Amino acid sequence: MDLLHERNQCGQTLLRLTSRGNAIIAELLRLAEAIPDVFYLRDRDDQVKYQHIVLDFSYFNSIELFDHRIDSSPEMQDLDEDFKETHYHLLSRFYLAFDSVYRYITDFVKFLSDLDDGVFIYQTLENVLSDTDGKQLLTEALFLYGVMLTTVDQRIPGPVRERLIVSFHRYCVNEAEQANIEAVIKLFRSTGYVHGVKRPEHYPESYFERIEIPKGFVRMVISRVRSDDVYNQMKVFPHPDHRSTALASQAAMLYIILFFDPDTLHREQAKMREIVDKHFPDNWVISVYMGPP
């Protein structure tokens, strides 16, 4: 049975995952353009006015202290209530997007576990990677998670997203809506990355390792992309001078996926030499994902 046949549970599960991944990225890009200025606390007046209301993850170290500070001041309570009424709907969307990223990767890891455990009859990781559609979808599924992480960190700065998450946590009264709050906090705490400034040490590899993905799977995907023409584009661009164009899509995916395997990225010189010579011989500007620059 074809992997993408509507009765093939393995293929349909993988197809739904990648569809979800693209939808999540689209929502993250939309939200990144709608962050209220107050969460940046760039203005001195905002810093003074909201310093006890718009809080980062330090809030979780002294919850009672911060809450008491607000509860003991009627003016602060009124300001807090107005802030909630103004921003709660948007805060819910931000948290739902962050939670969706976490749910996406946990569902993907479970899919890999099910594949390994034989839940999908006649399907193994090796079989799926040998299938034309399967290797594309598995590669894309991992790549999309990497794009989610980079999109969040580049477009929603660490301190800002901490304030967004804390604000939602403070205002949300339905515990079921934030069942994964601890995991979301772990995944999206500030990395220290600031656009235009030297990147923190071991970034983004340490960021990509916050949720464990089977190393064997990551290396199998890298090996497949490194050696194969995943999208069969060499037939369309047969001339040797056009190789980087033919492999541009998988080169972008490989660029992201390599961050999930720091050992290959930093220690496997022969493999990296092959990857660079094959995918980046004359191309150092990479379009990682569609959308605004």
| Across 32-36, 205-209, 226-230, 268-272, least confident range | 226-230
* Full 3-state SS string of 179-214: CCHHHHHHHHCCCCCCCCCCCCCCCCHHHHCCCCCC
* 74-103 mean pLDDT: 96
The C-alpha torsion from 127 through 128 and 132 to 133, rounded to 10°, is 160
Domain positions in the chain: 9-194, 214-284
Provide the pLDDT for residue 168. Answer: 97
Predicted local distance difference test score (pLDDT) of residue 282: 81
Task: Please check the confidence at residue 293 and state whether its pLDDT lies above 50.
Answer: no
Over 80: is that where the pLDDT of 241 sits?
no
Dihedral sign for Cα atoms in the order 76, 81, 85, 88: positive
- Determine the pLDDT at residue 291: 59
Are 208 and 150 contacting, i.e. CB atoms less than 8 angstroms apart? no
> What share of residues in the chain are helix, strand, coil (percent, to 5)?
70, 0, 30
Q: Indicate the range of 31-35, 137-141, 266-270, 286-290 predicted with least confidence.
A: 286-290
Following DSSP, what letter does each residue of 70-116 receive, concatenated?
A: HHT-HHHHHHHHHHHHHHHHHHHHHHHHHHHHHHHHHHHHHHHHHHH
CA dihedral 155, 149, 193, 251 (to 10 degrees): -100
Q: What does the pLDDT look like over 180-197, one tens digit per residue?
A: 999 999 999 999 999 888
70 to 77, 86, 135, 149, 193: CA distances (angstroms): 6, 18, 53, 33, 31
pLDDT score for 129:
93
According to the model, what pLDDT value does residue 49 have? 92
Q: Which amino acid is at 216?
A: G
pLDDT at residue 230 is higher than 90: no
**Would you call the peptide bond into 204 cis, given omega within 30 degrees of 0 as the criterion?**
yes
Report pLDDT digits (tens) over 60-87. 999 999 999 999 999 999 999 999 999 9
The 10s digit of each residue's pLDDT in 276-286 is: 988 888 877 77
Q: Considering the chain, what is the average pLDDT of its residues?
A: 92
Tens digits of residue pLDDT in 114-137:
999 989 888 899 999 999 999 999
